[in-house]
Structure 1
Amino acid sequence: MSSPVPDRHTREFRNVTAETFRTDILPAAKPAILRGLVGDWPAVQAGLTSPEALTDHIRGFDTGAPVRFAEAPPEVEGRFFYNDGMTGVNFTQRESTVGAVLDRLLALRGQDAPPAVAMQSVPEPQALPGFARANPSPLLGDDVFPRLWIGNAATVHTHHDMNDNIACAVAGRRRFILFPPDQTQNLYIGPFERTPAGPPVSMVSVIEPDLDRHPRFAAAWAAAEVADLEPGDALFIPYMWWHHVQSLDRFSVLVNYWWNDAQMQAGPLEAMIHAILGIRDLPPSQRETWRAMFDAFVFEADDPPGGHLPEDMRGVQGRLSPTAAARARQILARTLAN
């Protein structure tokens, strides 16, 4: 079953170069379909010939290194998620090789209701070295390596990544439903501590939303946009945009690139959890006081903090040196240990 489609469609670009991507698309921090970006890849051309031709192409780079893959029974209809009691997940994970999983996917294509199978985030340098040289990124440097996502008709629940992302459809159609970060509260996010596959996910089924249980999702849907990719197309997903991903065909290959140009001293998610521990349950008047403090010292609502102090006395109000950052982490470690 394919997902419903929002009214808003992601903006499209053609003939994108590395320069236009860096100057026009990336700074806008909005999703963008890059039509035909990788249409000349040998992998895409092989996939247009047949799934067998593409598996032969991929198999030529397979080192036999172990990779993990997930498999869900037919009754979940490709939806990788929690089990009904949220005590675990509705799929199993096992270890195999890329070649063996490709063989299984080819064998399942003839079944009316096959299990959902997915190799997710397979790192090219370890598992398929040489794939990137044969199928080079037209927009990013060699320091950003690709990951491969290979499976059949499967659904990944709405989640976000703390990276910028370019996702390239190699074989099979993909539908992305995207939600801006300001819709987080309307997406009913699941536990941070126990997730199906890494990042927190929305508890709302985009395919069959229950608005009685999740009424605020209607506002998220009004802000959502859809990006449908054909083989050879790519999608730019900006940092922290929520996205629901559905593979629409029985054999699907996607290549993605994650990168983050920001220089971070600590993880933002960990910082938020620390703030939850220290601030969320304070009385309302105290929370508002800390909101003002965060605006002044974290988000810099007005002038940058610390500018009135001598540079060598600004501490965490100034630009953190490696030594100052290490000292700040030691302070945090002591407070968390109490």
Structure 2
Amino acid sequence: MKQVHGITRECFERDVVPAYEPVVMRGAVGHWPLVAQGRAGLEPCLQYLLGFDGGQPVDAVLAKPEPTRAFSYRPGLDGFNFMRDKRPFGALFEQLWRYSHFPEPPSLAVQSALVSEALPGLAQTNALPLLDTAVPPRIWIGNRATVPAHFDDSHNIACVAAGRRRFTLLPPQCAPLLYLGPPDHAPTPAPMSIVPDLHRADPAQFPLVSEALARAVVAELEPGDAIYIPPLWFHQVEALAPHLNILMNYWWRPLAAPGRPDDLHLAALRLAMLALRHLPDGEREGWQALFGHYVFGARGEGLAHIPPAQRHLFGAIDAERDAALRRELIGMLTQT
């Protein structure tokens, strides 16, 4: 995986994001007080975080200490292999401390807690200079565990504050090789592979995984390191330290139209699956060709035959037209 040292915001915006490939940014958050506390050990780090505890319960997941330690599907895909509940940070930290004395503890983690609500003030004390302060960080705290390969539709910077994490990243073109579960039935909001750990996949059960891994890039991050993950890149994330791993990450997208978030991607994917699923193969191939043109192909010289002012949905969309199109689509979807 590509690596850079001494990254600046100018370099990140000019060189990293436009390249659409993952990049490890060594030492990008090495200045964080949280990183210093993480290096000091489990107890000093948890005490430091308790100083920011706002008292709000957070989502926690707990799984048995299986070999892969993955928060994943049950074998029959009829559910998931972990329990989920809400608990205060103080209770979770006490449980992590107790588990640190077990030779093989269960996997326990807080996942994607909004820092401004759960630990107010922590983000201001541990700021990421590569992004605007308006981008809200989320925090992931736990012991050793794996999140199977999945994708997000947002840009992502993930910063390791304590412990170690191994990232295995694969381009979106690897989707047919990853044995993806249904997009509306996954352990997290992100569509996910049913393979708990790509590096331990049974070749008899998942023979295509080896082909996917041949296209993968892998990096191990230490405290203070960060990684940029482009939208739609699959990533398996392993928290490697036995007792404490902390990650802060930042998801963001540009505005799709003035005042409107860029938020329709997964909804469009599900709607297309619902709308086209019943069609015969020939017609589905026809729609595939039309999607290739209307959604992905028609741009630049391909639109030269249409005056710029008359391109409508092919062209720029202002906030008023965006809102009108949304109302039109809502009307189409609610027709009985």
With the length of structure 2 as denominator, give the TM-score of the two structures.
0.91
Q: Is the 8 A contact 1:296 1:305 kept in 2?
A: no
- C-alpha distance in 2 between matches for 1:194 and 1:34: 33
1:13 aligns with 2:4: yes
Matches for 1:76-155 after TM superposition, within 5 Å:
77-155=68-146
Tell me what 1:277 maps to.
274
Question: Aligned equivalents of 1:323 and 1:87: distance in 2?
Answer: 44
* Equivalent pair of 2:255/2:262 in contact (CA under 8 Å): no
- Aligned-residue Cα RMSD (Å) equals 2.0
Counterparts of 1:31-110 in structure 2, within 5 Å, are 31-75=22-66, 77-110=68-101
Compute the displacement of 1:261 (Å): 1.8
The Cα shift of 1:90 comes to: 1.0
Equivalent of 1:199, from 190, 205, 225?
190
| Cα deviation digits, residues 199-237 of structure 1 (max 9, x gap) | 111112313212222222222111001010011111111
Structure 1 match to 2:295: 298
What residue identity is the alignment partner of 2:320? T
Q: Output the CA distance in 2 between the equivalents of 1:248 and 1:218.
A: 22
Range that drifts further, 229-238 or 215-224: 215-224
Tell me if structure 2 keeps the 8 A contact 1:306–1:314. no
Q: Residue in 1 aligned with 2:167? A: 176
3-state secondary structure, aligned to 2:159: strand
Letter in 2 for 1:254: L
3-state secondary structure, aligned to 1:223: coil
Q: CA deviation at 1:77?
A: 5.0
For each residue in 1:244-297, what CA deviation from the matched residue of structure 2 results, as whole angstroms up to 9, or x when unmatched? 011111211111111112516651222122222333543444334333322332
Within the candidate set 230, 246, 249, 1:253 is matched to 246
Aligned counterpart, 1:308:
306
Question: What percentage of aligned pairs have identical amino acids?
Answer: 39
What is the CA distance between 1:166 and its match in structure 2? 0.8
Provide the residue aligned with 1:29 in structure 2: 20
* Cα distance in 2, alignment partners of residues 281 and 123 from structure 1: 40
The reply on whether 1:240 has 2:232 as its aligned counterpart is: yes
Give yes or no for contact 2:56–2:118 (8 Å, CA) kept in 1: yes
**Which residue is 1:4 aligned to?**
none
Residue 322 of structure 1 deviates from its aligned partner by 3.1
**For residue 292 of structure 2, what is the amino acid of its counterpart?**
D
| Equivalent of residue 226 in structure 1, options 218, 221, 245 | 218
Q: Structure 1 residues 262 and 29, CA, compared in 2 at 3 Å: closer, same or farther?
A: farther
Partners of 1:301 and 1:178 in 2: how far apart?
30
Q: Moved runs in structure 1, 4+ residues, more than 4 A? A: 304-307
**Separation (CA, whole Å) in 2 of partners of 1:291 and 1:194:** 24
Q: Report if the CA contact (8 A) 2:138-2:250 is conserved.
A: yes
Instruction: Provide the aligned length of Structure 1 versus Structure 2.
Output: 328
1:318 Cα offset (Å): 2.9
Alpha-carbon displacement from aligned partner over 1:34-55 (angstroms, at most 9, x marks no partner): 1111112111111111111111
List aligned pairs for 1:310-329, cutoff 5 A.
311=309, 313-329=310-326
For the 8 Å contact 1:305–1:318, the answer to whether it is kept is no
Match of 2:333 in 1: 336
Question: Retained in 1: the 8 A contact 2:183–2:270?
Answer: no
Matching residue's letter, 1:171:
A
Please state whether the residue corresponding to 2:296 is helix, strand or coil.
coil
1:262 to 1:240, Cα distance in 2 relative to 1, 3 A = farther
The one-letter amino acid of 1:167's match is: A
Give the secondary-structure state (helix, strand or coil) at the position aligned to 2:284: helix
Letter in 2 for 1:62: D
| 1:164 correspondence with 2:155 | yes
Equivalent-residue separation in structure 2 for 1:59 and 1:221 (angstroms):
40
TM-score between both structures, scaled by the size of structure 1: 0.90
Change (3 A) 1:145 1:33: same
The unaligned stretches of length 5 or more in structure 1 are 1-9
Distance change (3 Å), C-alpha of 1:287 and 1:77? closer
- Contact 1:265–1:325 (Cα < 8 Å) also in 2: no
- Counterpart of 1:14, as a letter, is H
Give CA deviations for 1:50-103 in whole Å, capped at 9, x if unaligned: 111111111111111111101112246521111222222111111111222112
